[in-house]
Chain A
């Protein structure tokens, strides 16, 4: 599958990884967050060399200590701010800046790699109710400013990053707050833990929850009431992730318990287009390849990361999963503990595992 796979032990359980898409795949920059480490929780910025040179070992660019588990991690695609959802329920925005190292030669005109990770303003959390909202459990970013975050309590908030540039020109005065222009109601409530979220387009978003529901939200009317709910027939299976197709926004892939991978056509009424049972482990994340939309990557709690080629058998020219899709393993078979998260570039893949490994794979296009 991948032309080269490198692994690096990072001495913390990798909870989330995110790829800074601003940088090219030749020298990718990855953010990795830890969990379950108590006061030692951290976010690291790691830079990989071109073609995973130098034994594939990443270079540590920056470290930021966190006060809680890193539950969600997302780069915004435009400004490369890093949005972090913490186990404490706090949503934090961080800026990655490329401060020049003394004596370094950066006159080549190439974009500098970030050297610093600093928090922008104060973190934001939903207004405290009597019991708290639990950890941030889902996060999606749109157009650099807006974030759709879900909490374990079912709270759903559309936030915006408001940058206030005073006279002094200090850009650190950015704060997260519920988006005022995001619709009438920027705060919603799902019935249970929101486990995954993604923007469908400018005005729509989808979320999945632990009851096994895929909900569509019309952001123009706000988050007060969902627009549509889709479920898998039978007993509920908790969904853990959702991602929309990069080119066909009506296609959404979700992963659920029991290795259940579903492909939904949002134009359909209620049920998924395709359902595939992968293995015993829960699906922890699904991602479409950003360029090859018929390539779907799936990680599981059984320690697998598969690449699946979609077929064109779906109605309306949309892709679908065959009954027995060919699963191409990306990681070595020795991986047994859960793959918690992975991020995908055009030709680069990075995966973080429960046994403190950070895999990097080059040449992931089939």
Chain B
């Protein structure tokens, strides 16, 4: 790796030879900019040019880093200048914020700032000169240091001039002109120390000789002292003349050297008094000169002529030759000829003085001087063209933007925008341009990024965001700069991030955080990556990190525990919610932490929540379930509640269905779950009404236990039967937990089955004006369903299948015995039916008459075949339900979907299946859902699995189940209907719709006494199509049911409807 320093502050346009040792003629070179600018990496490109510089460079093996504008980077003194001037700059900004060029105090403070700048420049120039003197071994470094020192000295001279003319607060005062002239003369004297050196030499030589006037510089020194207005020094020097006490001319000259001095007082009288005094003094000089008092002494005469303000004397070659610059000559002439003139004289007389000065220096032309002090810049200042002066100075200084940036800023605060020589947006635009350039020039070294950013704070137009600007073409705004600063360490990244935040650049802050997070992620430091990703508020990145955690886990339990052992997950708090995966990890860790802390119940709660929320990726379900095994197998303590265990069972069932885990492991978990559930139920003295969907879950548990443990299964089935038995009495409790604006309630299917068959329970909506969005019924049956009514099933009947309805049918005490005793006899009408073992219990109970339980049931229900609905001699439609396993798809689900509307406005009907659900407004204002299934025998054996709905109300529990009356003795009472039409009309209508419908089915309806309430008219809508879109994640899919969706059509109310 080579590093080339191509620094050239004075001549940036000059060519630089790059020392690439392996480059031969004709080879290709590539170059890449650094992220911060002012650095270009040059490399030898490979033969096959790659689009990626790094690749190409690697092929050549050499990189050449070219930097420029590096004077502030490599020289400690100039670094100090940059850092220290930054503080003065900040002070100026504070002053400028208060007021721009207004109060005298502010102006005085700004003047102090200007002097601080100058002192800093002077100090650094001296230090650079000392360093140059010390660097004798390195001539190049010494030359550079000396060059920089001279540059700073020249800058200081110009700054001083600007300070006198523009920064000093007396600029506005007319009385200040003589004072300013004196200061200008002093300024010229300070930067022209020649006479002092001559005088020192002269005095040293005078010690050897008694006649100093014989020294070649005696009279030159005298003239220069007079030109600089130092008449007192001139008189003192003249007094050293060997004949000073003896020659009258010398005495007269010394007397004339008592030139009046102006002292600044804030009134116009002082100027007038000084003017009079000066005129009188100069008149005395002229009188003595014209009297020829000094004619015998030509050198003395020239001195007096200068005092008299004689123009010819100033044009004398020996006088012009003494001046280092034309403005020194100009100021001397003004001082001695027109000391009280306005500052306009500076610009007016400057050309003449310049011409006079250059008359004797034919080789010196514009621009041939030392760059800054060749007169062009000073003349612009004398002319009042400050803006032009800054532009010229920037051109002279090349890449050194320090001077013009700080000076422009100071002038901006002193003068505001009212400065001559400005164009294109005023002085503020020039200032901002210089500040942008200066901050950009500091980016060659990463160490200065803080300063660069700080300067950009005060570039209000282009400093923060990208703006199209003719001035800021090369500038980098903060939002771009901060994201390019390389965050090599965490600490530096913190600083960059804080800098972004402090400036309200939240996008940049997020970008920085994202960059650091990705770097950490690449390095495998997941904790750091997570920290920064959270700061970036980047959900995708957080998810990616969580994936990394999980990837390391490998999918097994131990790996997952290892991943969650990272304590970085401990304190994420709400940040964990940025990603589901991360939330899962945190919860998983919480689970382990609680297990470790012995908080087993809390741990169980976390595990159940994790599994029920489906937040956890499926491939980790088994791991989590296995982690729960120690808790499940605790014999002395029921850690999980039955409800939590049902959640676990659901997850396990889903896993089994997805077939994504080894069956052996699932079986182990399943056995533990069943066992734990039994213990939990015993501990809780389980009652179905304690949990909303407990009955269904019980059935689920039965199903689980079928393959796990027959004893458990029997126990569970017994529980199921108990629950089913008392469902009607306490079913209202189940529903109260399902209130909500959009409640989805899954009722225990067994109880609905019972209702379906008995028609004994009314399901009513409250309030009556409830609007629903959707009502869904899931009906399942293992029995064949004849989809095409014109073609009834022709396969063998299943005589053992019970008839629908009948008050004596549900005898739960027998159900579990039958099923448990004959699990092998479970009919499997089609593949996958084994998943529904638990649901088939009810339908199979007639088949096990040989068992003792079956005998008992038989005793309670003397003869099923006495039921007319099971009579094979009945019409085939009436006996449709007795056909068993004839259809290839024996299970189905019916979903009835309603449009938005009042629930009592509709009657849902599945035309194909002849299922009717009627919504009836009851006399007390509630709405009754009635299921009219009596005539549909093939459906009589179907189980109503669930009812669910979405409502758009936020009222009380919308649906309550109320046991309106005891189960009617006659199964014909299927529903209660209150309407204006007679039951005959309805019957006729049904008959017209389905002429084959037996009369028995029509008798199922009975008019309910309205008790004063007006009658209701039912309007029916009929579905037009079936939809078979089984969803795998649906509960119906789980139980193997069909999904049939009915789209209800609103029917228009007939005229005269009084509702």
CB within 8 Å of B: which residues of A?
9, 11-13, 35-38, 40, 69, 71, 87, 130-132, 134-135, 137, 152-154, 190-193, 195, 209-213, 226, 229, 231-236, 238, 240, 257, 280-282, 301-302, 334, 336-338, 354-357
Do A229 and B489 touch (CB < 8 A)?
A: no
Mask, B438-477, CB within 8 Å of A = 1, is 0000000111001100100000000000000000000000
Total number of B residues with any Cβ neighbor in A under 8 Å: 46
| Interface contact A71-B491, CB-CB below 8 Å | yes
**B567 at interface, CB cutoff 8 A:** yes
Contact A213 B498 (CB under 8 A): no
> Is B571 at the interface (CB under 8 A from chain A)?
yes
- Closest CB in chain A relative to B478 CB, distance in Å: 15
Contacting residues, chain A, for B451 (C-beta < 8 A)? 355
Per DSSP, chain A at the interface is loop
B566 contacts A193, CB within 8 Å? no
* Nearest residue, chain A, Cβ from B79: A11
The 7 A-B residue pairs with the shortest CB-CB distance, nearest first, are: A192-B527, A191-B568, A11-B76, A191-B527, A131-B523, A11-B79, A356-B83
Contact indicator B79/A191 (Cβ below 8 Å):
no
Asked if A235 and B454 make an inter-chain contact with CB atoms under 8 angstroms apart, the answer reads no
**Bound CA–CA A172/B432 (angstroms):** 55
Chain B residues, CB < 8 A from A355: 83, 86-87, 450-451
How long is the Cα–Cα vector from A137 to B498 in the complex, in angstroms?
Answer: 18
Chain B 539-563 interface residues, beta-carbon cutoff 8 Å to A: none
Specify which chain B residues have a CB less than 8 angstroms from the CB of A257 in the assembled complex. 494
Cβ-defined partner of B571 (8 Å) among A130, A236, A280: A236
Instruction: Please determine whether B528 and A235 come into contact, CB atoms closer than 8 angstroms.
Output: no
Chain B, residue nearest A338 (CB): B495
> Could you tell me if A336 and B571 are in contact, using CB atoms closer than 8 angstroms?
no
Residues of the A chain whose Cβ atoms lie less than 8 Å from the Cβ of B572: 235-236
In-complex Cβ contact of A231 among B79, B492, B570, B574 (8 A): B570
Pair A36/B524 contact, Cβ less than 8 Å: no
B82 — nearest CB in chain A belongs to which residue? Answer: A356
Say how far A167's CB is from chain B's closest CB, in angstroms: 40
Chosen A-B contacts, 11 in total, with CB atoms closer than 8 Å, are: A11-B76, A11-B79, A12-B76, A137-B490, A191-B568, A192-B528, A235-B574, A334-B90, A336-B90, A354-B495, A356-B83
Query: How far in angstroms is the closest Cβ of chain A from B445?
Result: 8
A35 to chain B, nearest CB (A): 8
- How far is it, in angstroms, between the C-alpha of A195 and the C-alpha of B446 when the chains are bound? 23
Q: Are B491 and A137 in contact (CB under 8 A)?
A: yes
| B571 near A213: Cβ-Cβ < 8 Å | yes
B575→A153 contact, CB < 8 A = no
B498 lies within 8 A of A301 (CB):
yes
A131-B489 contact in complex given A191-B567, A212-B571, C-beta closer than 8 Å: no
**Which of chain A's residues have a CB closer than 8 A to the CB of B76?**
11-12
- Which listed residue (A87, A131, A212) contacts B525, Cβ 8 A? A131
Across-interface contacts of A135 in B (CB, < 8 A):
488-491
Task: Decide yes or no whether B80 CB sits under 8 A from chain A.
Answer: yes
Q: Report chain B residues within 8 Å CB of A334.
A: 87, 90-91
Is there contact, CB below 8 Å, between A210 and B450? Answer: no
A134 touching B83, Cβ below 8 Å: no
- Please report the C-alpha to C-alpha distance between residue A38 and residue B600 in the assembled complex, in whole angstroms: 55
Residues from chain A with a CB closer than 8 A to the CB of B530 are 192, 211
CB proximity to A under 8 Å, residues B571-595: 571-575
Residues in A neighbouring B501, C-beta threshold 8 A: 280
Q: Is B502 close to A, CB under 8 A?
A: yes
The CA-CA distance from A234 to B498 in the complex, in Å, is 20
Q: How far is the CB of B95 from chain A (nearest CB, A)?
A: 12
Measured between beta carbons, the chain A residues less than 8 angstroms from B86 are: 355
Distance between Cα atoms of A152 and B522 in the complex (Å)? 14
Scan residues 509-539 of chain B and give those whose CB is less than 8 A from a CB of chain A.
Answer: 522-528, 530-531, 534
Q: Is B984 an interface residue (CB 8 A)?
A: no
Asked whether any CB of chain A lies closer than 8 Å to the CB of B936, the reply is no
Q: Which residues of A contact B447 (CB under 8 A)?
A: 12-13, 36-38
- B77 contacts A by Cβ under 8 Å: yes
**Residues of A with C-beta under 8 A to B522:** 131
Residues of B within 8 A of A232 (CB): 571
How far is it, in angstroms, between the C-alpha of A22 and the C-alpha of B450 when the chains are bound? Answer: 35
Inter-chain contact A280/B494, CB cutoff 8 Å:
no
A282 touches B571 (CB 8 A): no
Residues of B within 8 A of A338 (CB): 495, 498
Contacts of B528 in A (CB 8 A): 152-154, 192-193, 210
Other A-B pairs, 12, CB within 8 Å; known A137-B489, A236-B573: A13-B450, A38-B447, A71-B491, A130-B524, A152-B525, A153-B528, A195-B490, A211-B530, A235-B572, A238-B494, A336-B90, A337-B450
The answer, among A13, A130, A229, A282, for a CB contact under 8 Å with B498, is: A282
Using CB atoms, name the residue of chain A closest to B447: A36
Q: Which residues of A contact B524 (CB under 8 A)?
A: 130-131
CA distance A190 to B79 in the complex (A): 39
B84 within 8 A of A: yes
Residue of B with least CB distance to A226: B567
Q: A135-B489, A191-B567, A357-B83 are in contact. Are A281 and B498 (CB under 8 A)?
A: yes
- Closest B residue to A282 by CB, please name it: B498
User: Is A336 in contact with B531, judged by CB distance below 8 angstroms?
Assistant: no
Closest B residue to A233 by CB, please name it: B573
**Cβ–Cβ contact A211 & B527, under 8 A:** yes
**A152 partner residues in chain B, CB cutoff 8 A:** 489-490, 525, 528
Partner of B80, one of A71, A211, A356: A356
Are A236 and B575 in touch, CB under 8 angstroms?
A: yes
A9–B534 CB distance below 8 A: no
Q: Which residues of A contact B490 (CB under 8 A)?
A: 134-135, 137, 152, 193, 195, 210
Which of chain B's residues have a CB closer than 8 A to the CB of A191? 526-527, 566-568
Give complex CA distance A191, B572 in Å: 13
A36 to B450, CA, bound (A): 11
Complex CA–CA separation, A101 to B312 (angstroms): 65
CA distance A130 to B522 in the complex (A): 11
Cα–Cα, bound, A69→B491 (Å): 11
Residues of chain A within 8 A (CB-CB) of B495 are: 301, 338, 354
Q: Is the CB of A36 within 8 A of B446?
A: yes
Interface pair B491/A192, CB less than 8 Å apart = no
Considering the chains assembled together, what is the distance between the CA atoms of A152 and B493 in angstroms? 12
Which of chain A's residues have a CB closer than 8 A to the CB of B494?
Answer: 238, 240, 257, 282, 301
Q: Please name all residues of chain A whose beta carbon is closer than 8 Å to the beta carbon of B523 when the two chains form the complex.
A: 131-132, 134, 153
Q: How many angstroms between the C-alpha atoms of A87 and B571 in the bound complex?
A: 28
Most buried by A among B77, B83, B572: B83
Contact of B575 among A13, A36, A37, A235 (CB under 8 A): A235
Q: Which residues of B contact A233 (CB under 8 A)?
A: 573
Instruction: Let me know if B573 and A336 touch, CB within 8 A.
Output: no
A35 to B91, CA, bound (A): 26
Q: In the complex the two chains form, what is the Cα distance from A257 to B532 in whole Å?
A: 13
- Chain B positions 479 through 511: 1 when the CB is less than 8 Å from some CB of chain A, otherwise 0: 000000000111110110010011000000000
**Complex formed: what's the CA distance from A36 to B488 in Å?**
9
* Chain A positions within 8 Å of B488 at CB level: 69, 87, 135
- Cβ–Cβ contact A211 & B531, under 8 A: yes
Residues of B near A226 (CB, < 8 A) are 567
B568 and A211 contact, CB distance less than 8 A: yes
Determine the chain B residues whose CB is within 8 A of the CB of A192 once the complex forms.
525, 527-528, 530-531, 568
Smallest CB gap from A332: residue in B: B87
* Cα separation A354 to B453 with both chains bound (whole Å): 13
**How far is B524's CA from A334's CA once the two chains are assembled, in angstroms?**
42
Chain B nearest CB from A271 CB (Å) reads 12
Partner of A229, one of B445, B526, B567: B567
Residue of A nearest to B498 (CB): A301
B531 lies within 8 A of A238 (CB):
yes
- Find B489's partner among A11, A71, A302 (CB 8 Å cutoff): A71
Assess whether B573 is in contact with A9, with CB atoms less than 8 Å apart: no
B58 to chain A, nearest CB (A): 20
Q: Please indicate the chain B residues that have their CB under 8 angstroms from the CB of A240 in the complex.
A: 494
Q: How far is the CB of B533 from chain A (nearest CB, A)?
A: 12
Kindly list chain B residues whose C-beta atoms are within 8 Å of the C-beta of A209: 527
Q: Which residues of B contact A193 (CB under 8 A)?
A: 490, 525, 527-528, 531
